[in-house]
Amino acid sequence: MATYVNDGLTLHYEVIGSGEPILCVHGATGAGMHEWSKLAAGLSDSFQLVLPDLRSHGMSEHRPGAVGIEYVIDDLLALVDELDLGRPHVMGFSFGAEVALDLELTHPGTCRSLVLLSPGLGDPKSSVPTRERLVATWPNSLRRLHADTHGDDHWLEVMLELCQRAAARPKADLAQIATIRCPVLLVAGSEDDPRRIRQAQVMEEHHERSQMVLVDGATHAVHKSHPEEVARIIRSLLGQRTAGAPSETG
């Protein structure tokens, strides 16, 4: 893995493949390769996938109280500059989809396109889990990802901070989403939380360059359970939808 430094933290990333860059933003308590390795196999012959471990995740360093979306966005902008990616496609899963969307909303013109897998619920207050629910239900595979670098209970520290921040976030601003100039691909599993599916549909309705695809039989981690199908969707729609994308960010 390669590293770069931002905000005084050493942050890790990997690069797979060649072609137009896709900056890949993993979900909460995920990590770059853990999240994207299956999907990368179907994309790396045509795209360069940049897979960071977000701050406080995987092998990247942690600072308590500085885990939220605004900090992650600053790190991603630094990585774009570090690797001279220009205007990359930006793909995110779940929490990472929220990051990717906020990246383009707060820094318009950064993204050549957005690929949002299992995007957020639009009203974070409706779904913030308690500590007890996290301890009872959070997947062991995600808990273990950070143990060697940060300790066995690190995942819970990160999730509690992210949940606290999520509860304070406003609902999705659909009028602002409508102003996004780049194409947006929304992908969700048919068996995911119905609120997530509906939110993706609402986003599609409010953004004229959005397209939603529902993958039959898939649950939340649609890119892991159906990587070949999701790769085909991304390859097809990125090629079609970016052809008319504005070349200037104004």
pTM for this prediction: 0.93
40 in any annotated domain: yes
pLDDT higher than threshold 50 for residue 246: no
Residue found under tokens 């504005």: 246
pLDDT of residue 129: 85
Q: Report the interhelical angle of 69-82 vs 95-106 (nearest 10°).
A: 70
pLDDT bin (cut points 50, 70, 90) of residue 245 is: very low
247 in any annotated domain: no
pLDDT higher than threshold 80 for residue 43: yes
217 in any annotated domain: yes
249 in any annotated domain: no
Residue bearing the bigger pLDDT, 14 or 240? 14
The Cα–Cα gap between 101 and 177 comes to: 9
pLDDT higher than threshold 70 for residue 241: no
To the nearest whole percent, how much of the chain has pLDDT over 90? 84
Residue found under tokens 């062991």: 140
Q: What is the mean pLDDT of residues 37-61?
A: 97
The mean of the pLDDT values for the chain is: 92
pLDDT of residue 3: 98
Express each pLDDT in 53-88 by its tens digit.
999 999 999 999 999 999 999 999 999 999 999 999
Express each pLDDT in 166-191 by its tens digit.
888 888 899 999 999 999 999 999 99
Q: Report the interhelical angle of 32-41 vs 227-241 (nearest 10°).
A: 80
Which range of residues forms the domain containing residue 29? 2-242
pLDDT higher than threshold 60 for residue 30: yes
116 in any annotated domain: yes
250 in any annotated domain: no
pLDDT of residue 171: 83
pLDDT of residue 238: 85
Domain count within the chain: 1
String of b and e for 24-58 (b: at least 16 CB within 10 Å)? bbbbbbbbbbbbbebbbebbbebbbbbbbbbbbbb
pLDDT of residue 125: 61
pLDDT of residue 250: 33
Q: What is the mean pLDDT of residues 2-8?
A: 98
Express each pLDDT in 114-154 by its tens digit.
999 999 876 666 667 889 999 999 999 999 999 999 999 99
Q: Residue 158 is part of a domain; what is its CATH number?
A: 3.40.50.1820
222 in any annotated domain: yes
